[in-house]
Amino acid sequence: MSKPKLLPYLEALFAVVVWGASFIATKIAVGQISPIAVVWIRFAMGIPILFAAVAVRKQFAFPKGSEWLYFTLLGFLGISFHQWLQSNGLQTAQATTTAWIVATSPAFIAILAWLVLKEKLNLLQSSGIVLAMLGVLVVVSKGNFANIGRFGTAGDFLILISAVNWAVFSIISRHGLKTHPSTRLTFWVMTIGWLIISIAFFAQGKMAEIAQLDSRGWWAMIFLGIFTTGFAYIAWFDALAQLPAAQTGAFLFIEPPASMIVAAIVLKEQITLPAILGGAVILFGIWLVNRQG
């Protein structure tokens, strides 16, 4: 097996940095409208970007037969259910607690990749996952583990379920990526997931909430729609199609430091030295996981 080129690594990095920043944007948006409205608007913005990408790459094709059921399952798990979990979870989960809970997802991906896809990690790569998880704890605690939020709110449980759900979604997606280009798969998964969300969105009469967004809320939604939903999903699936699941998943450890940097810029939160050191440990851990990729 030839060594993957640099591009899939850069795409995975881009996706998780954007997703790390999305926690701040989502916090701003759900402060003005309901979680389901946030999810519906962002995917309404992201789907045209995906369609354009499919058209440019000349990869458009309708699913056939049982593929409709497969894409519907992925759309439910990766889009409607996952976004519902995170948007509702962020309403009550503490920021520090959310960060370390989300950071468990790469471990779940590695375990499922080993059990389901028979992907193996050597001792050094496994150590990289553990090291990166420790780095996440340093980042979110700012060097004092006593600062780590206690697990127990309803939002914490929803975020934990979302971490496991994303791992399941990523593993199941590998099957479709064997027969479909990543952009086409992403387009259909997102479109079907958005249609599922639309049923609840319109049934609950949430369209009127859109008028409640102020300029700050709209900037948050534009970021969530264009970058988080459009470009980041394309990049993630491109990477997942070319790299082993565990190696791709390891990049999710970058979400907490990315979120910290954006919070410093947008919310004027201070970046501490322990957080910087923790970020360096995360990057070293990810390098260990991917060094033999």
Q: What is the pLDDT of residue 237?
A: 87
Q: What is the pLDDT of residue 285?
A: 80
Residues near 91 by Cβ (< 8 Å), separated by ≥ 6?
30, 35, 155
How far, in whole angstroms, is CA 69 from its chain's centroid?
23
Query: Exposed e or buried b for every residue in 60-71, given b needs 16+ CB within 10 A?
Result: eeebeeebeebb
The one-digit pLDDT tens for each residue of the chain (293 residues) are 455 578 888 999 899 889 888 878 888 888 899 888 998 999 999 999 999 999 998 988 898 888 999 999 999 998 889 888 877 776 666 655 666 677 778 888 888 888 887 877 778 777 888 887 777 777 766 666 665 555 567 777 888 888 889 889 988 998 888 888 888 998 999 999 999 999 989 999 999 999 999 999 999 999 999 999 889 988 988 888 888 887 888 888 887 777 777 777 776 667 777 777 877 887 788 787 777 54
Q: Show the CA angle centred on residue 214, arms to residues 209 and 220, nearest 5°.
A: 90
pTM to 2 decimal places = 0.77
Phi, psi of 93 (to 5 degrees): -75, 140
The H-or-E segment that residue 230 falls in is none
Q: How many whole angstroms separate alpha carbon 276 and alpha carbon 270?
A: 11
Q: What is the pLDDT of residue 142?
A: 63
DSSP code for 276? H
> What is the identity of the amino acid at 119?
E
Contact 37, 221 (CB under 8 A): no
Q: What is the pLDDT of residue 293?
A: 47
Report the helix count and the strand count for the chain, using DSSP H and E.
Answer: 14, 0
